[in-house]
């Protein structure tokens, strides 16, 4: 077992994201991940160093520390830690300062902070939009949609829309393809005026069966015959109507969202 | 105007997160941000380099390129770009390999990919949980909740719960404090058995007025008198009942979630 710490004077999201990307490149380790966020004064920084150092006693392996300290003073304190310490600002700020011919502002809370109330509102509005327009839901304001995700039940529509809303402020609605749509090989009438905004999801039968079984094991809902039929008919609609679609079977939510944005050219309203 | 590119053989989420953290440390620049994800072969890498180099013609300022190429070959191709190129794996992989006494697997798609179907299911389940238990919603499976966020309308409950679910797989329910609760200075009966799981949100009157006005400008809903009353009474309940709470006025969703996790000790089921 080896401790991996994510330290920050902010939320720690950047340290987590970076560190996680890196440690997943190494197999066979039992990494124990701990986030210590909001270390925004000297006392807290010293406390974090003590905590990490004392964890070594019971654990012969050196801890790995990913950090994003904007404050140089705090970064210096954390450097005293007994472990492999990798700080992002330490490494990347200098070349950027040189290129931009400017010293960094060293202010915390700019990236994931509420520095921009406007961004906050955009996120909330996009999230509310995704919720109100989930699963063919109540408002059906498809004129406002940046994109409308369609697909059969449990193909990944809802988490994808929520992710795009929260992460990028994209107005993402979603609409289920029902038995009727599949039988008639047609897109729902409600969506016909918005054909250009449609994007389809598909999935492998075996994977869908697994996912549906978790939800409702009884009846035909999760039967291999039913899921195969639905997938086949949904794909027929996409092809017939010229709707772009992707197979979500092997993809994470980040990958599904990334590919949709790439293939449609939908614009992000902001970045994480 | 200066182009900032986020390049990756994966989703580009790590490059975006890191790059965004860094460039927000520099004021007064007109950064044009472009993500080029899924650059997973030599042709795509060369195409990206061409695209970036050709963008320089109309733009005298050198582009800045943040990248996360796991493939060393692709990283080498991108190094040819005419701009400031900062690759995360280039810098951090070597010290990690040395410390872990192991070569990295150089496999892409491990961090934000579907390498772990189990993690995918956890995310989906947590997101479904948050949706079904949003705003005092349908299922009310509070026995399963890791945390139950309470607060008055528009104090930030829903996006916070969705973020914790999507990002960390936390089962986060939320419940609104109604006029009745505020008048009686009591927590809703439904929640009484789960007092230990409750966490309160509060907000400044001026900020809440703004947020509510966006939603419904007419009536008393967004009046300063009404919002002040609701905030005061909600905080009274938190204090009287010994419920931890935070003020979300100056906080981003990442910060709200981070602070809740920090103050409650709720465990993340995974990391981004």
Which domains, and CATH codes, for chain B? 2-100 (3.40.50), 117-264 (3.40.50.300)
Average pLDDT, chain B: 92
The predicted complex's ipTM stands at 0.88
Q: For residues B106 and B70, is the Cβ–Cβ distance under 8 A? A: yes
Half-sphere exposure of B248 (CA within 13 A, CB side): 31
Q: What pLDDT digit, counting tens, does each position of B39-97 carry?
A: 999 999 999 999 999 988 765 789 999 999 999 999 999 999 999 999 999 999 999 99
Half-sphere exposure of B98 (CA within 13 A, CB side): 8
**pLDDT given for residue B56 in this prediction:** 82
Helix or strand or coil: residue A148?
Answer: strand
A211 vs B contacts (CB less than 8 Å): 121, 124
The segments of chain A whose pLDDT lies below 50 read none
**pLDDT given for residue A138 in this prediction:** 78
Query: Do you know the residue count of chain B?
Result: 272
Q: What's the average model confidence in pLDDT over B147-164? A: 96
Whether residue A26 and residue B255 make contact (CB cut-off 8 A), yes or no, is: no
**pLDDT given for residue A60 in this prediction:** 75
pLDDT band per the 50, 70, 90 thresholds, residue B193 = very high
B93 vs A contacts (CB less than 8 Å): 22, 25
Whether residue A68 and residue B272 make contact (CB cut-off 8 A), yes or no, is: no
Tokens for B24, please give them: 């927000």
**pLDDT given for residue A110 in this prediction:** 60
pLDDT band per the 50, 70, 90 thresholds, residue B121 = confident
Q: What pLDDT digit, counting tens, does each position of A31-52 carry?
A: 999 999 999 999 999 999 999 9
Q: For residue B1, give the nearest of B82, B74, B56, B71 by alpha carbon.
A: B56
Helix or strand or coil: residue A104?
Answer: coil
Q: For residue A162, give the nearest of A204, A143, A134 by alpha carbon.
A: A134
Interatomic CA distance for residues A223 and B186, integer angstroms: 47
Better pLDDT: B270 or B19: B19
Give the chain B residue whose CA is nearest to the CA of A251.
B114
**pLDDT given for residue B184 in this prediction:** 95
């Amino acid at each position: 077992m080896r401790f991996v710490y994510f330290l920050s004077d902010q939320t720690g999201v950047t340290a987590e994201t970076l560190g996680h990307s890196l440690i997943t490149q190494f197999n066979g380790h039992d990494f124990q991940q701990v986030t210590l966020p909001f270390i925004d004064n000297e006392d807290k920084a010293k406390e974090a160093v003590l905590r990490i150092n004392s964890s070594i006693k019971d654990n012969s392996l050196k801890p790995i520390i990913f950090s994003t300290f904007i404050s140089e003073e705090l970064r210096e304190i954390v450097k005293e830690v007994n472990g492999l310490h990798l700080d992002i600002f330490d490494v990347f700020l200098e070349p950027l300062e040189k290129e931009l011919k400017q010293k960094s502002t060293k202010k915390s809370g700019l990236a994931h902070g509420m520095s921009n109330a406007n961004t906050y509102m955009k996120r909330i509005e996009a999230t509310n939009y995704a919720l109100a327009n989930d699963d063919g839901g109540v408002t059906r304001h498809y004129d406002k949609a940046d994109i409308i995700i369609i697909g059969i039940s449990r193909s990944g529509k809802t988490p994808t829309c929520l992710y795009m809303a929260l992460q990028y402020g994209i107005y993402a609605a979603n609409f289920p393809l029902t038995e009727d749509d599949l039988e008639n090989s047609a897109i729902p009438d409600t969506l016909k005026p918005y054909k250009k905004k449609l994007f389809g999801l598909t999935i492998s039968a075996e994977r869908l069966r697994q996912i549906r079984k978790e939800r409702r094991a009884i009846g035909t809902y999760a039967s291999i015959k039913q899921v195969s039929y639905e997938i086949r008919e949904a794909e027929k609609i996409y092809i017939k109507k010229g709707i772009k679609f992707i197979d979500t079977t092997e993809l994470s939510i980040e990958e599904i969202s990334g590919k949709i944005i790439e293939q449609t050219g939908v614009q992000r309203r902001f970045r994480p």
